[in-house]
Amino acid sequence: MYNTMPLTQKGTRPNSHAWLKQAVFYQIYPQSFCDSNGDGIGDIPGIIQKLDYLKWLGINVVWINPCFMSSFRDAGYDVDDYYRVAPRYGTNRDLYRLCREAHRRGIKVCLDLVAGHTSIDHPRFKASSRVGRNRYSDRYIWTSSAISDADKGLSLIQGNSERDGGYVANCFPFQPALNYGFARPDQPWQQPVDAPGPLENRKELIKIMEYWLGHGVDGFRVDMAFSLVKLDPGHKETIKLWQDIGQKVRAHYPDIALISEWGNPAEAIAAGFDIDFMLHFGVGGYPDLMLNENCFFRRSGGAGIGNFLKSYLKLAAKTKGKGLISVPSGNHDIKRPRADGRTVSDLKVIFTFLLTWPGAPFIYYGDEIGMRYIPGLESKEGGYDRTGSRTPMQWDNGTNAGFSTADKERLYLPLDPRRNRPNVEKQAGSPGSLLNHVRRLIALRKRSPALQAEGALIPLPVENIDRHFAYLRQAADERFLIVLNPSATPSSVRINGIKPDNLSPRICHGAQARVEGDDIQVNMVGVSYGVFKL
Ligand code: GLC
Ligand code: CA
């Protein structure tokens, strides 16, 4: 079946990174979180107003999606000025104040760093597009002819300026790739990684990071971190580039968290990142857990935990002791977990998993109350089908669910139209709510080293693995047994060879466990979970 060797993720950058062991992250999409001034768009003062809520929930780090000056064709992932907060979110001073207020509550703040591309409206791209050579000519990747020169594996945008050449775009055509060089240049216009343009871009990136770190920011989630060096098999040169940047920045700021959107923790952690995600792209496994039609977290039983686990264990072995893997509840690019008919009971099983799993848990805003993915919304700021995961946070029963005092038509995106849409206020007051479940799990994790980032994970071989899953987490003499049955079918698990002195249920629903001789017998109704202290 699979390896039952204990896997620890011990000694992550000792001394400096102790705080990551206990970290529970919360991702804030700033335009949809809380609008403090009634213009219909969430903002930084709004986030400050909600810090007490995050503290109550047990969150100790937030990651805020891009909040810099932008043309907002891709919701801020098209930056015009990396040194200025977008006016719609407030001022730089508001962001400094957010850091201070968050720190007072024991919460760290990570920003989103779009390292690989700017917007076409960035003054440097405009300079780079000019015909005459200037200091920015080589800061983006231009081919030598606007007519030919197409290259495999690169997306070329041609004919948008009088400069003869096409530029390489990273994602959408308005996101020109910054020039960090090519791994093996084989065209005259492809520059090596140590050419002057690429080196200037590296320096600039460090300058941006240090600017915000100097104002109290605690780290960055780096957008498309894998994308910097072009035509780079195995991302070897990109890995070296990040090692270099990380080393330089950490020399001044040793305690920061660098989190990558890479989708391959083995590569990303080798590159010096502290955390990388399993995602909808990259190494695989996450879709088999959360997203596919037959994924593990489906009532229909799905294909079991096997595919996810195989991928996870491989990555865990490769990154052991060096960095953390994150399995997030969702994010702004994928469907929320509350989609495709999933109910709050299903979400409780999912969160039991996410918050008892090693590494760094990330909760996407609103997932903790079971906000729905809203299908069929008109695309907003390049959201397309991602738009349905980006609707305003639902705080209470008041106007616009407490998100904003603006007229409904002026909201950044429409709210979930359902009358029974979940909200924070209602769930905070209801002991059986998803929100209180998440809060209890976070509290248990924070006081139990075995459940934290580096506690050992021991998956248990059990029958009917297509329906359910059981594993141990342990550290020193502390040990937990976790059982999950997301399927609608009742199930039972017999775990042999563990003779606990004690077996006490901590956070359970529909799962009962008792010691029988040398075994533990667990009986589970459909859609159930149990966290037992052994
Ligand atoms: C990342 C972001 C996504 C954005 C893209 C281009 O994948 O998460 O939202 O569209 O990069 O910057
Ligand atoms: Ca606002």
The answer to whether 435 and 369 are in contact (CB under 8 A) is yes
pLDDT in tens, 344-393: 999 999 999 999 999 999 999 999 999 999 999 999 999 999 999 999 99
Long-range contacts of 469-478 (CB under 8 A, 24+ apart): 469/296, 469/305, 469/309, 469/353, 470/495, 470/522, 472/498, 472/534, 473/356, 473/358, 474/6, 474/450, 475/449, 475/450, 476/449, 476/450, 478/448, 478/449, 478/450, 478/533
Alpha-helix residue ranges (DSSP H) falling in 287-343: 306-319
Q: 206 to each of 203, 215, 220, 221, 336, how far by Cα in Å?
A: 5, 14, 12, 14, 33
Separation between Cα atoms, residue 305 and residue 523, nearest integer Å: 19
pLDDT in tens, 211-244: 999 999 999 999 999 999 999 999 999 999 999 9
Tokens of 533: 């202290």
Nearest CA to ligand 1 atom 2: 223
Separation between Cα atoms, residue 373 and residue 387, nearest integer Å: 9
**CA distance from start to end of the chain:** 24
Nearest CA to ligand 1 atom 4: 77
Question: At residue 14, does pLDDT exceed 50?
Answer: no
The answer to whether 100 and 152 are in contact (CB under 8 A) is no
Percent of residues, the chain, with pLDDT higher than 70: 96
Separation between Cα atoms, residue 43 and residue 89, nearest integer Å: 4
The answer to whether 210 and 252 are in contact (CB under 8 A) is yes
The CA 129 to ligand 1 mean position distance, Å, reads: 23
Q: Is the CB of 171 under 6 A from ligand 1?
A: yes
Tokens of 435: 């929100």
Nearest CA to ligand 1 atom 12: 77
pLDDT in tens, 481-502: 999 999 999 999 999 888 888 8
- Looking at residue 496, its pLDDT comes to 87
Q: 207 to each of 188, 243, 381, 494, how far by Cα in Å?
A: 29, 16, 28, 56
Q: Is the CB of 77 under 6 A from ligand 1?
A: yes
Element holding 207 (H helix, E strand): helix 196-214
Separation between Cα atoms, residue 459 and residue 468, nearest integer Å: 12
The answer to whether 192 and 181 are in contact (CB under 8 A) is yes
pLDDT-based confidence at residue 148 (cuts at 50, 70, 90):
confident
- Looking at residue 362, its pLDDT comes to 98
pLDDT in tens, 164-202: 999 999 999 999 999 999 999 999 999 999 999 999 999
- Looking at residue 150, its pLDDT comes to 67
Q: Is the CB of 78 under 6 A from ligand 1?
A: no
pLDDT in tens, 120-141: 999 999 999 999 999 999 999 9
- Strands 108-114 vs 219-223: parallel, antiparallel or unpaired: parallel
Mean residue pLDDT of the chain comes to 94
Count of residues in the chain: 534
Q: Is the CB of 173 under 6 A from ligand 1?
A: no
Alpha-helix residue ranges (DSSP H) falling in 22-86: 44-49, 51-57
Q: Is the CB of 503 under 6 A from ligand 1?
A: no
Of the segments 9-18, 151-160, 486-495, which one has the largest average pLDDT value? Answer: 486-495
Separation between Cα atoms, residue 14 and residue 288, nearest integer Å: 33
- Strands 478-485 vs 155-158: parallel, antiparallel or unpaired: unpaired
- Looking at residue 507, its pLDDT comes to 98
Question: At residue 209, does pLDDT exceed 50?
Answer: yes
Closest CA to 27 of 239, 333, 274: 333
Q: Which residue do the tokens 């770190």 mark?
A: 213
Separation between Cα atoms, residue 513 and residue 504, nearest integer Å: 9
Q: Is the CB of 332 under 6 A from ligand 1?
A: yes
Q: Is the CB of 73 under 6 A from ligand 1?
A: no
Classified as helix, coil or strand, 239 is helix
- Looking at residue 17, its pLDDT comes to 73
Residue type (1 letter), 238: T
Q: Is the CB of 112 under 6 A from ligand 1?
A: no
Nearest CA to ligand 1 atom 3: 333
The CA 138 to ligand 1 mean position distance, Å, reads: 24
Q: Which residue do the tokens 């000694």 mark?
A: 11
The CA 224 to ligand 1 mean position distance, Å, reads: 7
The answer to whether 329 and 351 are in contact (CB under 8 A) is yes
Alpha-helix residue ranges (DSSP H) falling in 412-471: 424-428, 434-447
Question: At residue 152, does pLDDT exceed 90?
Answer: no
pLDDT in tens, 264-286: 999 999 999 999 999 999 999 99
Q: Is the CB of 281 under 6 A from ligand 1?
A: no
Least confident stretch, 7-21, 35-49, 401-415, 448-462: 7-21
Question: At residue 412, does pLDDT exceed 60?
Answer: yes
Long-range contacts of 143-151 (CB under 8 A, 24+ apart): 143/167, 143/168, 143/187, 143/189, 144/187, 144/188, 144/189, 149/187, 149/189, 151/187, 151/231
Q: Which ligand is nearest to the CA of 45?
A: 2
The CA 381 to ligand 2 mean position distance, Å, reads: 17
- Looking at residue 5, its pLDDT comes to 37
Separation between Cα atoms, residue 134 and residue 413, nearest integer Å: 41
- Looking at residue 497, its pLDDT comes to 82
Report the residue among 77, 112, 222 best suited for mutation to probe ligand 1: largest number of ligand atoms under 8 A from its CB: 77
- The pLDDT of 301-306, averaged and rounded, is 85
- The pLDDT of 289-297, averaged and rounded, is 96
Whole-structure pTM value: 0.96
pLDDT-based confidence at residue 149 (cuts at 50, 70, 90):
low
Sequence-distant (≥ 6) Cβ neighbours of residue 153 within 8 angstroms: 230, 231
3 state SS for 300-312: CCCCCCHHHHHHH
- Looking at residue 465, its pLDDT comes to 73
- The pLDDT of 435-460, averaged and rounded, is 97
The answer to whether 11 and 324 are in contact (CB under 8 A) is no
Crossing angle of the two packed helices 196-214 and 236-252, in degrees rounded to 10: 40
pLDDT in tens, 243-257: 999 999 999 999 999
